[in-house]
Amino acid sequence: MMSNENPNFANEKRRNVETAERTADGRYKRKVRSFTLRTGRFSDLQRKMMTDHWGDYGLDFDGKMWDFAEIFGNNNPVVLEIGFGMGKSLVEMAKANPETNYLGIEVHTPGVGACIATAVAENVQNLRICCHDAVEVLAQCIPNDTLSGLQLFFPDPWHKARHHKRRIVQPAFLDLLLPKLQTGGFIHFATDWQNYAEHMLDVLNQTANIKNTSATNDYIPRPDFRPLTKFEARGHRLGHGVWDLYFRKEA
């Protein structure tokens, strides 16, 4: 595989959840974000994988619309996963479904390095990764009617009530996402926080042109195609619940 110059992730500064911006008249305003961009500590392996293989797997945020046929070299369906953590389950899904292209977005840079390391070890070719704000990527880089699905597994629950506005699943997020999905495209959320599950369900139920696939019109059992993560398995041992939501876009 060919490789390109790696972005300087190691020197990237940590951002606050709320970043300062200016209004049209020059006053500062606060923009609520659903995440904190974390550089963390790179292992030697993660750093090497980023350096040697970013050109194979990495997509730089440039504010321009991406051409997935050019990026992946085919016209296979594209599934977007936001917040893949260390990337093990994302690579597992990509390896199990070579006829589907996977795009992962993650702001934890050691996780990006770990994901690339796993993809290289498993020789996975149908995966690309971006280290940037998913909302900005959706708005500026992903054309309408190009995604066959969106996966969001165990996002930050922002469990304190005063922080609920920072949860990524909000009506505005669904309004941004829906045009990117093709007809029949899926939305798959999973969380181990019941309050967040109820919030997700409420937001989805208020969104037009999508249909819940649950037989009980709420949650589905964990599907076999969603890998069981170490985090989730530990939660099961401790008696924690997990809620999966699976909706499809209608015409």
Tokens 């469990």 belong to residue: 159
Tokens 């990337």 belong to residue: 87
Q: How far is Cα 71 from Cα 57, in angstroms, rounded to an integer? A: 10
pLDDT the model gives residue 39 = 52
pLDDT digits (tens, 9 = 90+) for 10-20: 444 333 333 33
Q: How far is Cα 187 from Cα 233, in angstroms, rounded to an integer? A: 23
pLDDT the model gives residue 45 = 85
Cβ-contact 142, 65 below 8 angstroms:
yes
Residues 6 or more apart whose Cβ sits within 8 Å of residue 178? 207, 209, 210, 249
pLDDT the model gives residue 40 = 57
Handedness of CA 126, 223, 163, 88 (dihedral sign): negative
Taking the model in full, what pTM does it have? 0.83
pLDDT the model gives residue 47 = 86
Q: How far is Cα 74 from Cα 34, in angstroms, rounded to an integer? A: 33
Q: How far is Cα 160 from Cα 17, in angstroms, rounded to an integer? A: 15
Residues with a catalytic annotation lie at: 156
Cβ-contact 87, 124 below 8 angstroms:
no
Q: How far is Cα 181 from Cα 171, in angstroms, rounded to an integer? A: 16
> Which ranges of the chain have pLDDT less than 70?
1-40
Q: Is 30 helix (H, G, I), strand (E, B) or coil?
A: strand
Q: Residues 231-236: contacts with CB within 8 Å, 24+ apart?
A: 231/85, 231/154, 232/154, 232/192, 235/192
Cβ-contact 109, 38 below 8 angstroms:
yes
Residues 6 or more apart whose Cβ sits within 8 Å of residue 219? 197, 201, 243, 244, 245
pLDDT the model gives residue 112 = 95
pLDDT the model gives residue 70 = 98
Give buried/exposed letters for 148-167 (b at 16+ CB in 10 A, else e): bbbbbbbbbbbeeeeeeebb
